[in-house]
Structure 1
Amino acid sequence: MTVAIALFTADLRTHDNPVLRGALDAADQIVPLFVLDEGIRAAGFRTPNRATFLAGCLADLDAALRERGGRLVIRSGDVVREVRRVAEETGAGQVHVAGDVSAFAQRREERLRAALAEMRRELCVHEDAAVVIPPGTITPAGKDHSVVFTPFFRRWSATGTRRPLGTPRRISVPDIDSEPLPEAAGIAGGRPSPDLPRGGETEARRRLKTWLAGPIDRYEDLHDDLAGDATSRLSPYLHFGCLSPAELVHRARQRGGAGAEAFVRQVAWRDFNRQMLAGRPDAAWDDYRHRKDRWRPDGDDAEAWRAARTGYPVVDAAMRQLVTEGWMHNRGRLIVGSFLTKTLYVDWRVGARYFLDLLVDGDVANNQLNWQWVAGTGAATRPNVVLNPLLQAKRFDPKGDYVRRWVPELGEVEGAAVHRPWLLPEDRRRRLDYPDPIVDLDEGLARFRRGRAA
């Protein structure tokens, strides 16, 4: 009886999973394996939010496999060592794993390939589970990746995508020992955000069904509405591989309409960032385009930004949403990113690190490349644009409902004053327990322009 190993990484699902399907097609029995190694902890999961979400994903994956007669095998330690052990214990001849563009994943793949070759086993690398179209498929003439989104998106839209794979009905697993499913505290210490979403494929598919049943139709008109909260909130499930992006795009296109097309465009941004990181792995922490910025230090202003006490209500509201939910509205991410990097003129890496500490959906490609886009060191075609938080608030939170939801100190402030509380009478301002602005917007803009010009 032949055995293959399906090594789960960022593809914690049973629906449309090329790794799982490849292993099942190759052998009579499979070992669905997840290795909790130090590399995973170091790669962004040593934070309570993502550790909590990951623990939920693994428990849900195990339950789904058991419904099909299988189970998830958990091992801890070095991933190459544990894969070798499982291969020896079961006689597995193949190991199936998803491709990945991160430097960590590339090193893992190289080490696995070399170790398995020594054992005369085969490593089968399937397409990147985190994208619709793999990096390297769409490239401009003479280059290995695109740097302008619009032409990339045109070609991305015209490129054929695979149809989603079926879900296995039965899975047979050989007799092999497994560690218990990990708990969040065993992955990372600390207290998670109080309102984290529930991890796992079951919750992902419930949300997907709800999203496609109607809300997606309003996405084009409402996706920037801060108070309306009319986005899909599927990004954590895409990040952990609880949902297949290929299936998501396929089903959105089946739904059709302007809302679905606008949503698919946002999914394409994930592929765009991933192919940029594949072409420039150093962009994870180095400027993609050096502007010779002389960033201000990570000091009191940056700490006020992290503490959501900048004195600009829409900025503080978004930062408080992040702390509470481990997630932030995309328009909020743009506002707080521009405020840190351009109004305060603080290095984008300070913001990127803080986001990775808290965001459940914070992967290296999308987090870092989006921060660089906002800071003007990335792929932005207008790198010096500064988002004025007052104008952003007026446009995307005109009634102040988003601010009042997240900044309760201003809950009783009526009308447009909620975005400019410093204009209230002094006696009322004292009662609000809300700080004055830490920076004058005009002064911040002038400082940024001087620094960027120099």
Structure 2
Amino acid sequence: MRVSVVLLTSDLRLHDHPPLCAALETADAVVPLFVMDRAVEAAGFAVPNRRAFLADCLADLDAALRQRGGRLVMRSGDLVEEVCRTVAQANADEVHMSAGYSLFAARREDRLRRALEAVGRRLFVHDTVTVAVPPGTVTPASSDHFAVFTPYYRRWAQHPLRPLAAAPRRIRVPNHVGGEPLPARSDVTGVSPGLPAGGETEGRKRVATYWRRGLDAYEDTRDDLAADSTSRLSCHLHFGTLSPVELLHRARRRGGPGADAFVRQLAWRDFHHQVLAARPEAAHADYRTRNDHWRTEHTARADIEAWRQGRTGYPVIDAAMRQLRYEGWMPNRARLLTASFLTKTLYVDWRIGAAHFLHWLVDGDVADNQLNWQWVAGTGTDTRPNRVLNPVAQAKRYDPDGGYVRRWVPELAGLAAPALHEPWKLPAPDRAALDYPDPVIALPDGLDRFRRARDRDH
């Protein structure tokens, strides 16, 4: 009996899964394998919210495999060692997996290929599983990657998509290949109370609902903080319970301004992955240095803690930071505002904010998170590196009636907009009645400090 192992990583689904389909085409049986890689935990990425969401994903995937006659095999430890052990136990001829684009993924893939070749087995790595257009597929004439989004998007949009792969109807797994019990969400402590459920089933339900009720209006409502009108699909894309290629096919078929705006967000995701693949050091170092002398944990401890706790005295910033802790997620507009406030109003090192986001975000992805933080901080691919988002002006524009602030900052719920966004301007007796802090800094003072700092290299 010819057996193949399908190593699952950030592709925890059955629909549109090229590695699984390729394995089933050539093998009589497959071993769907997930390894709880101890290197991920050692690197600090196995945080509670993502561990809990992952547990949901694995349980849902196992249930879907069992409906088709199979099951998920789980191991834990060193990924390369566990894959090789599974290959030997199953007497498998080859291993199929999705490509990863971080330096960590590239090094792991290289180790696995060499280990398998040493025992006469082959590794097949499949592109267009976790991204729609893989890094290096479209490049400018003078570089190995695009550093500006707009020209990248033009080329990206013209690149043909592969056809979708159907979910298999039957999957046979060798009986003698064993694994460990799957993790459970209930075993994870420190999880955000409002963390959404994970898994392909939940992801596909979310797509169906959003396509009916939200997609067509996406262009007009995606920045409306109170409306909560974004797709909330980022966590499913991060864990691969949804296929970016499938979403792109479906959005293009739908058409219209809302679908077009959604497609651009998928392009931004691929854009960040191609930047990080070409410049892996951008995960921790400035992509384009501005010679900043950022304030650090030591020099800005009180300001940083106020930002983390949602106690800055700026209601829209505090609302977003509290949502992050409660749900493990926040909409993109809120991410931009909180990142701009930390890096440019408080002039704090972007890496401090990026680390806090990676601790809480269920969709915490190195490429998207780090490069979005750099974009806002002005050290990344933004062509206007010194722009500063005014949190009051932004709140009045994107939360004009104050619904978002009232939801997450209940101590201000009794205030009417626009006073809600500037409670420090209330009459003294009204201000004194609020259990809410004064602003950690006046906006003109923060802007002046930032401009003086950036003027050093002008």
Please say whether Structure 1 and Structure 2 have the same fold, judged by a TM-score greater than 0.5: yes
Deviations 1:189-216 (A, max 9, x none): 5310000010000000000111112310
Question: 2:282 is matched with which residue?
Answer: 283
1:427 and 2:412 matched: no
- Deviation, 1:40, is 2.6
Partner Cα distance (2:223, 2:54) in 1 = 29
2: CA distance, partners of 1:79 / 1:266: 32
Structure 2 residue matching 1:31: 3-state secondary structure? strand
1:357-396 matched pairs, under 5 angstroms: 357-396=359-398
The offset of 1:325, in angstroms, is: 0.4
Aligned-CA RMSD value: 1.0
2:263 alignment partner in structure 1: 264
- Give the Cα separation in 2 of the matches to 1:337 and 1:169: 45
Structure 2 residue aligned with 1:178: 179
More divergent stretch after superposition (50-59 vs 175-184): 175-184
Please tell me whether the aligned partners of residues 44 and 356 of structure 1 are also in contact (alpha carbons under 8 angstroms): no
Other-structure match for 1:194: 193
Paired position in structure 1 for 2:442: 440
Quick check: 2:11–2:129 contact (8 Å CA) kept in 1? yes
| Alpha-carbon separation, structure 2, partners of 1:124 and 1:204 | 27
Number of residue pairs aligned between Structure 1 and Structure 2: 452
Distance 2:35 2:407 in 1: 40
* Structure 1 unmatched runs, 5+: none
1:62 paired to 2:50: no
**Pair 1:127-2:127 in alignment:** yes
Q: Which runs of 4+ in 1 moved over 6 A?
A: none
The answer for the alignment partner of 2:163 in structure 1 is: 163
CA–CA separation in structure 2 for the residues paired with 1:251 and 1:71: 29
Matched ranges for 1:15-164 at <5 A: 15-43=15-43, 45-164=45-164
Measured after TM superposition, the shift of residue 182 of structure 1 is 1.4
Query: What residue identity is the alignment partner of 2:213?
Result: G
Change over 3 Å in CA distance of 1:351–1:17 after alignment to 2: same
**One-letter identity of the residue aligned with 2:264:** R
Matched residue SS, 1:432: coil
Map 1:287-436; keep pairs closer than 5 Å.
287-298=286-297, 299-436=301-438
Residue equivalent to 2:451:
449
- Offset at 1:44? 5.0
TM-score, length of structure 2 as denominator length: 0.97
Deviations 1:100-149 (A, max 9, x none): 11111111111111110110000001115221101001100021100110
Q: Is the contact made by 1:45 and 1:51 (CA closer than 8 Å) also made in structure 2?
A: no
Equivalent AA in structure 2 for residue 390 of structure 1: V
Retained in 1: the 8 A contact 2:128–2:245? no
Mapped to 2, the partners of 1:326 and 1:89 lie a distance apart of 39
For the structure 1 residues 287 and 185, does the alpha-carbon distance in structure 2 shift closer, same or farther, using more than 3 Å as the test?
Answer: farther
One-letter amino acid matched to 2:61: L
Deviation of 1:42 after TM superposition, in Å, equals: 3.5
Q: Report if aligned partners of 1:47, 1:190 keep a CA contact under 8 Å in 2.
A: no
**Residues in 1 aligned to 2:116 and 2:443: alpha-carbon distance in whole angstroms:** 58
Residue 415 of structure 1, CA deviation? 2.2
Partner of 2:228: 229
Query: Is the partner of 1:415 in helix, strand or coil?
Result: coil
Percent of paired sites with the same residue: 61
How many angstroms does 1:35 deviate by? 0.6
Contact 1:99/1:129 (8 A) holds in 2: yes
Tell me the CA shift for residue 253 of structure 1: 1.0
Counterpart CA distance in 1 for 2:213 and 2:327 is: 24
Distance 2:134 2:417 in 1: 48
Distance 2:265 2:87 in 1: 40
Indicate the SS of the match to 2:61: helix
1:74-108 CA deviation, whole Å, 9 max, x = no partner? 11111111111111111101000111111111111
CA distance in 2, matches of 1:22, 1:429: 65
